[in-house]
Amino acid sequence: MKAVVLEKHGGLDELKVVKDFPDPKPIEGHVVIRVGATSFNYHDVFTVRGMPGIKVPMPMIIGLDLAGEVLEVGPGVSGWKPGDRRQSSSAMRFIVSTRPSRTACCHRRRTAPSP
């Protein structure tokens, strides 16, 4: 998948477009979402610059907010199916991999239905 990746803290010049970043796989309690829209907001700027006391696993795909449709459902997830429209935001953050990328792996409790 195509993704905007941060490999180390610094300025915006540290962001790289990677055209062949591995697609996320659904894990226990998570869904994989085909990203239709995403954002770059102030939380992303803080992540790029680095925040004292907060360790971020690298490489990190940037973009906290997203909307799209479910592609795959991981073990332990019921009531959701491929094609369901979902959204996830920084307030509901627990995204394993994603943003500005084509797919994201999100915890089922951290997403909401999207109209």
Q: What is the pLDDT of residue 91?
A: 45
- What pLDDT, on the 0 to 100 scale, is given for residue 27? 85
pLDDT per position as a tens digit, 3-12? 888 999 999 9
**Of all helices (H) and strands (E), which one includes residue 5?**
strand 3-6
pLDDT, tens digit, for every residue of 53-98? 888 888 888 877 888 888 998 899 888 899 999 888 754 443 444 4
**Euclidean distance between CA atoms 18 and 4, whole angstroms:** 6
pLDDT at 93: 40
- 3-state SS of 32-91 is EEEEEEECCCHHHHHHHHCCCCCCCCCCEECCCCEEEEEEEECCCCCCCCCCCEEEECHH
Report whether pLDDT(100) > 80.
no
The CATH code belonging to domain 3-113 is 3.90.180.10
